[in-house]
């Protein structure tokens, strides 16, 4: 069977002028994943990335580790189906947390204690609003809704698992929402279950799907390499 390695991007910049860039910790995570794949013999034949900067940066840093080891790294194909949902924009519109004019979430606070308090406050709001949006209790005009997102993610997962040679490996870099919705399409999960899964997808984690013309099977989910160490459990 062929293999799809579905990767959530490394940690993005929760604090700063834009969310859609990797943090310093995220850059270390991406490099650690690259070194892990080199060491364990993972050799993708195809590389597909979503349209966001954090997707591209994660894939590029993994590729730099391949280049440093003298290993081939495929040329990236951009797939708009792998884009993230509109959850951040929805939370801003509903709660006012963050500027609606850009994708920044919050400016850098003065202390580590403030950082953690702000994150807890934000993700509490995010969980509540995203759940209500996915269940149709929040409706906003002018942006892709949850049903449209799920349909797009399903098309993306179908595209990534087109029949291929048994030894073919595709690496796809995307966001946590697409990972949960794509796997929800594969496993026929409810909207509630897809949302629940989306809250636990770790940065730089890998979901492995084996597929052939006759079937598709989820082999593993939310796996991060041991060499990420204490930086493994991040969810931004």
pLDDT tens profile 69-99: 999 999 999 999 999 999 988 988 888 776 6
Fold of 2-227: Rossmann fold (3.40.50)
Distance CA 38, CA 24 (A): 22
pLDDT one-digit tens code per residue, 121-171: 888 898 999 999 999 999 888 889 999 999 999 999 999 999 999 999 999
pLDDT confidence bin for 229, thresholds 50/70/90: low
Contacts for 120 with CB less than 8 Å, ≥ 6 apart:
none
- Give residue 234's pLDDT: 87
pLDDT tens-digit readout, 186-212: 999 999 999 999 999 999 999 999 999
């Amino acid at each position: 069977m062929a293999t799809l390695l579905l990767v959530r991007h490394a940690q993005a910049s929760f604090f700063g002028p834009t969310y859609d860039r990797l943090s310093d910790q995220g850059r270390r995570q991406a490099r650690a994943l690259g070194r892990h794949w080199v060491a364990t013999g993972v050799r993708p034949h195809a590389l597909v990335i979503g349209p966001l900067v954090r997707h591209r940066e994660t894939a590029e840093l993994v590729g730099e580790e391949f280049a440093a080891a003298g290993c081939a790294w495929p040329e990236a194909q951009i797939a708009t189906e792998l884009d993230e949902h509109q959850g951040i924009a929805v939370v801003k519109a509903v709660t006012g947390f963050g500027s609606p004019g850009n994708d920044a979430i919050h400016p850098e606070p003065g202390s580590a204690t403030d950082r953690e308090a702000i994150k807890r406050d934000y993700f509490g709001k995010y969980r509540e609003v995203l759940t209500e949006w996915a269940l149709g209790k929040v409706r906003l005009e002018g942006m892709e809704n949850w049903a449209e997102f799920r349909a797009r993610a399903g098309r993306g997962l179908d595209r990534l698992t087109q029949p291929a040679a048994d030894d073919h490996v595709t690496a796809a870099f995307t966001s946590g929402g697409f990972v949960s919705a794509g796997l929800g399409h594969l496993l026929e999960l409810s909207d509630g279950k897809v949302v629940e899964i989306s809250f636990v997808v770790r940065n730089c984690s890998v979901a492995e799907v084996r597929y052939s013309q006759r079937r598709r099977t989820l082999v593993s989910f939310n796996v991060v390499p041991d060499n990420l160490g204490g930086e493994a459990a991040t969810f931004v």
